[in-house]
Structure 1
Amino acid sequence: MKPTIVICDDDQAILEMLEMVLDDGTKNIILVSNSTDIFNVLAYSRPCAVLLDLWMPILSGDQILKKLRATKEYAQLPIIVISASREGESVAREAGATAFLAKPFDISQLCETVEAYITS
């Protein structure tokens, strides 16, 4: 069975770029552009990792992350936060992120980080 990765970002171009980079045929990639949909998507997809943008309208990445970390089911789920914000890494870590990648990110670093969490 292929590992599933959920990517949540309000920027469609970022979603498409991440899908293109990560979809090598060995993974299921699920894209979520509306942050309010993430909880339903996680419930049915059972991902092995999540890529989560920090700054999104309605529900921000840190709000989502805090809710996920507060539930037993998602407390240990690898969540990699991505952000272009200068203070993004500290906000992400405080909210419980497993890892942080600054935008614009290095493609090889992105792939290595994702692979490390889906194979562990």
Structure 2
Amino acid sequence: MAIKIMICDDEIDILDVTQMILEDAGFEVIAVSDSLNAEQIFLNEMPDLLLIDLWMPGISGDRIISSLKSNVAHTNIPMIVLSASDTGKQTAMSCGAEDFIPKPYDIDNLLDILNSHLIEKSNSKY
């Protein structure tokens, strides 16, 4: 069974390219462009990892992460911020995200970071 990653970004081009990269790497991808529905989609899909932009119309990524992380059932799911924000790393860490990837991102760096968190998550199950 493929590892499921949910991507949430209102920039459709970034969403499409990131989805293609992750699918080519063998992941199952749930791509979401509407932050207003992101939390419900997350709860329905229960991905292995969430990759989310910070600044989106509707609900910001940090609010979504904070809300999801407030439920103990989601604390072991890595949530990583992908953002072009100058304060993105600080915001990501303050809302409970496990990591921050700046836009524009390097593909190899993106995959390395995601894989390291998925390995860590896998090891923590035992």
Shorter-chain TM-score tier: over 0.9
Deviation at 1:82, TM superposition (A): 0.8
Moved over 6 A (4+): none
Cα separation, partners in 2 of 1:78 and 1:70, compared to 1, 3 Å:
same
Counting only pairs closer than 5 Å after superposition, residues 12-91 of structure 1 correspond to structure 2 as: 12-24=12-24, 26-91=26-91
- TM-score normalised according to structure 1 size: 0.94
**Greater percentage in helix:** 2
Instruction: State the superposition RMSD in angstroms.
Output: 1.2
Secondary structure of the residue aligned to 1:119 is helix
Task: Please tell me whether residue 103 in structure 1 is matched to residue 96 in structure 2.
Answer: no
How far does the alpha carbon of each residue in 1:78-113 deviate from its partner, in whole angstroms, 9 at most, with x for none? 011011111110011000110100111111100111
SS at match of 2:31: strand
Judged with a 3 Å threshold, the aligned counterparts in structure 2 of structure 1 residues 25 and 114 are, in CA distance, closer, same or farther, namely closer
The alpha carbon displacement at 1:76 in A equals: 2.1
Where do 5+ consecutive residues of structure 1 fail to align? none
May I ask how many residue pairs the two structures share in their alignment? 120
